[in-house]
Amino acid sequence: MEECKVKKNNKQDYYLDNLVNEICATYDDKTGINHIEGFNLPAEEEILEIISALLEIVFPGFSSKKNYNLNTLKFNIGAITTNLFYQLSDQVERALKFNCKRENCDDCNYFEDAKKITKEVLSEISNIRAAMKLDVVAAYNGDPAAMSYDEIILSYPGIKAITIQRFAHVLYHHKIPLIPRMMTEFAHRITGIDIHPGAHLGEGVFIDHGTGVVIGETARIGNGVKIYQGVTLGALSFPKNACGVIIKGAKRHPTIEEEVTIYSGATILGDIVVGANSVIGGNVWLSESVDKGTKIMIEPPKQIVKNKKNKNLK
């Protein structure tokens, strides 16, 4: 019996050795899904910790990690901010190094550039807090089911997705690769709301319910815009160069002006403008600009009732 067990193990070892060799052979093509003999990329675990710290600073006390009072607030926030500075600058340095290697730069100063950019990003915290106050007020005023600001901050997915996107947008503005998308894709994962870090959001934006909302890279959303679930602000087509390659970064998503309401399931595509104070009804498909104050609805469905003789009665 013992000899049979040894033979079986030898066969397994032979199989596993061949399997590993077969897998490793697929790494030799270097087609872009390998990161071998390289350097440390931004780490998802670290990015999630950074997001948690940013949310703690914007909404202190709502995570239940700490009990704050005005006497100790400076100490508590100071400790979080200090740790955040070093953690974020390390991740930004990794992202910058990735960018320089990709572009074959030889004179990049990752360390100093990372510290400078991190300072500029963190200096936006006060502005982001001011914007989020207006977003929370917009959610409270726009949702009759909202009972308090606390409820909104604790439970509304739109608030969390927008907060994370606002920070990611600052990093995107500084041309930091990898990290902004890692942040907004995490928000997408936990909220069902997909906002590209390149999208520009005004103040007092309210995404109600939110599941299935998609907002593209070059979309611009004005102050006081209200968006319901399942809305897509996407691209209708992708501009290409003479060689047929898609041009990156070209404006291809809608501009939504102030105080527009977009109801659930609406799809708005292309570099078009939806004028201020317009209302876009549920399930509308829109690919042309509309003037200010426009109301667009699809034709209501007609109810057809069949009688016992299978004759249609309208």
Q: Are residues 60 and 178 in the same domain?
A: yes
Based on the domain organization, do 105 and 220 belong to the same domain? no
Calpha distance 234→198 (Å, rounded): 13
Residue 30 has pLDDT above 70, yes or no: no
What pLDDT does residue 9 have? 64
Are 117 and 248 within one domain? no
Q: Is the pLDDT of residue 67 over 90?
A: no
Return the ∠ at Cα 81 (arms to 169 and 138), rounded to 5°.
50
Flag whether 93 is in a domain.
yes
Same domain? For 118 and 101 the reply is: yes
Which of the pair, 154 or 12, is modelled with greater confidence? 154
* Of 29-38, 70-79, 173-182, 295-304, minimum mean pLDDT range: 29-38
- Would 143 be classed as within a structural domain? yes
Question: CB under 8 Å to 122, separation ≥6 — which residues?
Answer: 81, 84, 85, 88
Percent of the chain with pLDDT over 70: 92
Question: Which carries the bigger pLDDT value, residue 36 or residue 276?
Answer: 276
Report pLDDT digits (tens) over 249-299. Answer: 889 999 999 999 999 999 999 999 999 999 999 999 999 999 999 999 998
The CATH number that applies at residue 224 is: 2.160.10.10
**Does residue 50 lie within any of the structural domains?**
yes
| Listed residues 144, 172, 193: the one ending a domain | 193
Distance CA(192)–CA(255), nearest Å, equals: 22
Residues 172 and 210 in one domain: no
Highest mean pLDDT among 112-116, 159-163, 236-240: 159-163
**Confidence category of residue 301, pLDDT binned at 50, 70, 90:** confident
User: Which residue range is the domain that position 291 belongs to?
Assistant: 199-314
pLDDT at position 298, please?
93
Q: What is the pLDDT of residues 190-234, one digit of tens each?
A: 999 999 999 999 999 999 999 999 999 999 999 999 999 999 999
Average pLDDT over residues 70-91: 94
Between 37-51, 61-75, 140-154, the lowest mean confidence (pLDDT) is in 61-75
**In 3-state terms, what secondary structure has residue 267?**
strand
For residue 312, what pLDDT is reported? 56
Tell me the pLDDT of the chain averaged across its residues. Answer: 91
Q: What mean pLDDT do residues 304-310 have?
A: 71
Q: Is 256 in the same domain as 311?
A: yes
Q: Are residues 221 and 88 in the same domain?
A: no
Domain count, the chain: 2
- pTM, whole model, 2 decimals? 0.88
Q: What is the pLDDT of residue 72?
A: 85
Q: Are 61 and 189 contained in the same domain?
A: yes
Same-domain status, 136 and 229: no
Domain co-membership, 114 together with 188: yes
In a domain, 15, yes or no: no
* pLDDT for the residue numbered 1: 44
For residue 130, give the CATH number of its domain.
Answer: 1.10.3130.10
pLDDT digits (tens, 9 = 90+) for 85-138: 999 999 999 999 888 877 777 777 888 999 999 999 999 999 999 999 999 999
In a shared domain, residues 55 and 95:
yes
Tokens of 309: 């003789």
> What is the 3 state secondary structure string of 116-171?
HHHHHHHCCHHHHHHHHHHHHHHHHHHCCCCCCHHHHHHHCHHHHHHHHHHHHHHH
